[in-house]
């Protein structure tokens, strides 16, 4: 009890300037089982996986695969019927559920902001539950509004006065308020239109680079999983884990037909989205007039699209400082999987692809 | 029909009888009204307010308790609805008179309050319960997921969000109690029912009836307005929604 208080205090001090990696904890699901009374089949028969501290684990799968159930077992919104879940090496079953939940950020698709509270008071919810002083809450709320790029003035508004995207960002800020070591996010961008969803996904990646939380993110959208996940857990009907690996591994070596089907016939293209032109062996300029310029930070997939749009003509690739890196040609991109290693490096989560979009 | 004392007040002493419009039996006699304001009408109005406030406060407390129970334990709802609906359907004249026969009640303010409270229960119970149940599920899920205990969820989320429905119920209950409390004069010789009944019994002179009725209407409108104002103060989020 005492040690947990000490740890909380340290964490909060550590996070006063936007967060640090020390505030994230490793999450381990150990032979987790969920049965509902009166049903023969278990919703989740036996699920084990470990999310390293500070990484984003995306649970993805068709409906009925138990991905949301698995997530809700972690903060004990649904009681476990077997196995154990360890957060930072400590079983969640030994914790008081309400106390545990205050330590785990929780974001849901419908956001669930409190309509009767201002944005400010919504964000301050968990700090208030934890009994923080006003002097400690005020700067924290201001800091979070800044973190999600909302004006301090918006803090005085009510949720219904915000756009859908703003509401979702406030939902994330509210979940981050007490600097939890783990965030649970259940299809947080599922109800947002595609354009705003892409913006929110970029915002999420930028935010995660700053706060480095351990995140469990549920989605049914494999593209979202590839874009956001450090690791992806693909679940199939009946709550079985089909594959748990990095996005590149899953695209390069799908474990079975189900995974190959689920990631789609265009998985080679998706794989190209995970690499940038910096990863491609580009032929040098040969005196031909290039049809245009592309930055070296562009994903190979987008570069391929650009070359195709230019009628198959090569494009000049420019580095950050404007120097010429070579030519993006159909042939160079076509041989991208041939390299000596036989595999493309995975550089998307380094940031390049995310930032240029 | 009446067991108690006379319900027809004197007209404010001999001087009132000398007013010309009283002699003429005009439809409404302003000079009678002003000469009886401080002695008869104003006290009756004050008594009426006391009758209504006591009834609504006690009714609200009982209805709130029952609604919270029914919110937590669903099976409680149907019996409460059945019983309060039954109370609500009893004709008011009969109800007041029946209660007089109950030992310990008799002709008293308590008798009047028992009947008035009974009539508020159905509306208040239904509105409070509806308000609590209409809190969006995702809001409750978020509250629980962020670590609110059931009690904190009730106090910080469910009751505040139920406020508009609760106040809507209070408005209906208050306005209808203002009207019903005039009948209470039959068992408890006070309130605006006294001049109204006196006016009914007086074949020629109707000023009392009109004055009592008009004051009751004004009281109902005022009480309703106060509750609307309270809601605006207490639920700034819904005010901004309509703006």
Inter-chain residue contact B237 with A101, CB threshold 8 Å: no
Please check whether residue B241 touches A, CB under 8 A: yes
pLDDT in tens, A212-258: 999 999 999 999 999 999 999 999 999 999 999 999 999 989 999 99
Q: Write out chain A residues lying below 8 Å of B236, CB-based.
A: 158
Q: Write out chain B residues lying below 8 Å of A171, CB-based.
A: 142
List the single residue in B139, B147, B236 with the smallest CB-CB distance to A112. Answer: B139
pLDDT-derived band at A346 (thresholds 50, 70, 90) equals low
End-to-end CA, chain A: 46
Average pLDDT of A317-338? 84
| Whether pLDDT at A2 is above 50 | no
| Whether pLDDT at B204 is above 50 | yes
**For position B24, what pLDDT does the model report?**
74
Q: In 3-state terms, what secondary structure has residue A20? A: coil
Q: What is the mean pLDDT of chain A?
A: 86
pTM given for the model: 0.81
| Whether pLDDT at A136 is above 60 | yes
Inter-chain residue contact B141 with A115, CB threshold 8 Å: no
**For position A255, what pLDDT does the model report?**
93
Scanning B118-177 for CB atoms below 8 A from A yields 136, 138-149, 152, 157, 160-161
Inter-chain residue contact A125 with B146, CB threshold 8 Å: yes
Shortest Cα–Cα distance, B224 to chain A (Å): 23
Alpha helices for chain A (secondary structure H): 2-14, 67-74, 97-102, 119-123, 125-129, 134-147, 164-176, 194-211, 222-228, 247-252, 257-263, 267-273, 300-309, 330-334, 352-356
Shortest Cα–Cα distance, A160 to chain B (Å): 7
For residues B14-52, b (16+ Cβ closer than 10 Å) or e, as one string? eebeebebbeeebeebeebbebbeeebbeebbebbbebb
Residue of chain A minimizing CA distance to B147: A98
List the single residue in B147, B160, B240 with the smallest CB-CB distance to A98. Answer: B147
A234, A259 Cβ separation under 8 angstroms: yes
Q: Write out chain A residues lying below 8 Å of B148, CB-based.
A: 98, 129
| Whether pLDDT at A19 is above 70 | no
Shortest Cα–Cα distance, B170 to chain A (Å): 20
pLDDT-derived band at A6 (thresholds 50, 70, 90) equals very low
Shortest Cα–Cα distance, B230 to chain A (Å): 16
B41, B10 Cβ separation under 8 angstroms: no
pLDDT in tens, A247-270: 999 998 999 999 999 998 888 888
Inter-chain residue contact B145 with A75, CB threshold 8 Å: yes
Rounded to whole angstroms, the Cα distance separating A189 from A165 reads: 9
Q: Write out chain B residues lying below 8 Å of A158, CB-based.
A: 236-237, 240-241
Inter-chain residue contact B157 with A113, CB threshold 8 Å: no
Inter-chain residue contact A108 with B138, CB threshold 8 Å: yes
pLDDT in tens, B88-131: 999 998 998 899 988 888 888 999 999 999 999 999 999 999 99
Rounded to whole angstroms, the Cα distance separating A25 from A57 reads: 13
**For position A171, what pLDDT does the model report?**
95
Give the A:B interface size as CB pairs under 8 Å: 72
pLDDT-derived band at A334 (thresholds 50, 70, 90) equals confident
| Whether pLDDT at B61 is above 70 | yes
List the single residue in B138, B149, B237 with the smallest CB-CB distance to A98. Answer: B149
Rounded to whole angstroms, the Cα distance separating B207 from B199 reads: 7
Choosing among B146, B148, B152, B236, which should be mutated to test the A contact, i.e. which has the most A CBs within 10 A? B146
Sign of the C-alpha dihedral, residues B133, B139, B145, B151?
negative
**For position B172, what pLDDT does the model report?**
97
């Amino acid at each position: 009890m005492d040690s947990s208080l000490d740890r909380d205090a340290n964490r909060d001090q550590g996070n006063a300037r936007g967060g640090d990696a020390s505030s994230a904890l490793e999450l381990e699901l150990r032979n987790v089982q969920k049965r509902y009374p009166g049903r023969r089949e278990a919703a989740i028969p036996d699920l084990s996986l470990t999310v390293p501290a500070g990484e984003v684990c995306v649970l993805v799968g068709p409906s009925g695969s138990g991905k949301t159930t698995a997530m809700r077992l972690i903060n004990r919104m649904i009681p476990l019927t077997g196995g154990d879940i360890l957060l930072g090496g400590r079983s969640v079953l030994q914790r008081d559920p309400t106390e545990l939940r205050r330590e785990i950020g929780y974001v849901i698709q419908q956001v669930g902001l409190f309509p009767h509270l201002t944005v400010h008071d919504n964000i301050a919810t968990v700090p208030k539950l934890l009994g923080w002083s006003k002097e400690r809450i005020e700067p924290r709320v201001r800091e979070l509004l800044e973190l999600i790029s909302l004006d301090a003035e918006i803090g005085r508004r009510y949720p219904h006065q915000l756009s859908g995207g703003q509401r979702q960002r406030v939902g994330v800020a509210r979940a981050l308020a007490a600097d939890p070591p783990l965030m649970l996010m259940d299809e947080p961008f599922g109800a947002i239109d595609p354009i705003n969803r892409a913006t929110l996904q970029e915002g999420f990646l930028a935010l995660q680079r700053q706060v480095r939380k351990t995140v469990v993110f549920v989605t049914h959208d494999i593209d979202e999983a590839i874009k956001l996940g450090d690791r992806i857990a693909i679940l199939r009907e009946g709550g079985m884990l089909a594959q748990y690996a990095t996005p590149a591994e899953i695209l390069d070596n799908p474990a079975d037909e189900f995974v190959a089907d689920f990631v789609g016939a265009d998985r080679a293209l998706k794989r190209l989205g995970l690499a940038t032109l910096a990863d491609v062996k580009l032929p040098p300029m040969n005196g031909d007039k290039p049809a245009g310029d592309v930055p070296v930070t562009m994903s190979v997939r987008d570069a391929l699209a650009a070359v195709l749009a230019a009628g198959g003509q090569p494009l000049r690739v420019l580095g950050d400082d404007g120097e010429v890196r070579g030519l993006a040609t159909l042939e160079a991109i076509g041989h991208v999987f041939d390299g000596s290693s036989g595999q493309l490096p995975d550089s998307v989560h380094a940031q390049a692809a995310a930032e240029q979009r | 029909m009446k067991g108690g004392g006379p319900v027809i007040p004197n007209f404010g002493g001999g001087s009132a009888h000398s007013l010309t419009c009283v002699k003429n039996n005009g439809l409404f006699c302003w000079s009678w009204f002003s000469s009886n304001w401080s002695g008869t009408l104003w006290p009756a109005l004050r008594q009426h307010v006391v009758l209504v406030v006591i009834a609504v406060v006690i009714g609200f407390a009982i209805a709130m308790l029952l609604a919270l129970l029914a919110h937590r334990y669903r099976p409680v709802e149907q019996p409460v609805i059945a019983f309060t609906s039954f109370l609500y359907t009893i004709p008011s004249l009969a109800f007041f008179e029946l209660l007089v026969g109950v030992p310990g009640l008799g002709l008293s303010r308590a008798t009047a309050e028992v009947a008035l409270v009974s009539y508020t229960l159905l509306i208040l119970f239904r509105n409070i319960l509806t308000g609590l149940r209409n809190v969006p599920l995702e809001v409750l899920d978020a509250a629980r997921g962020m670590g609110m205990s059931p009690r904190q969820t009730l106090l910080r989320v469910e009751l505040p969000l139920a406020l508009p429905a609760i106040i809507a119920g209070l408005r209906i209950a208050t306005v209808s109690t203002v009207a019903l409390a005039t009948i209470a004069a039959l068992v408890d010789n006070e309130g605006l029912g006294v001049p109204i009944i006196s006016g009914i019994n007086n074949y020629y002179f109707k000023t009392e009836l009109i004055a009592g009725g008009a004051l009751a209407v004004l009281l109902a409108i005022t009480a309703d307005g106060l509750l609307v104002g309270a809601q605006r103060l207490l639920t700034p989020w819904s005010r901004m929604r309509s703006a």
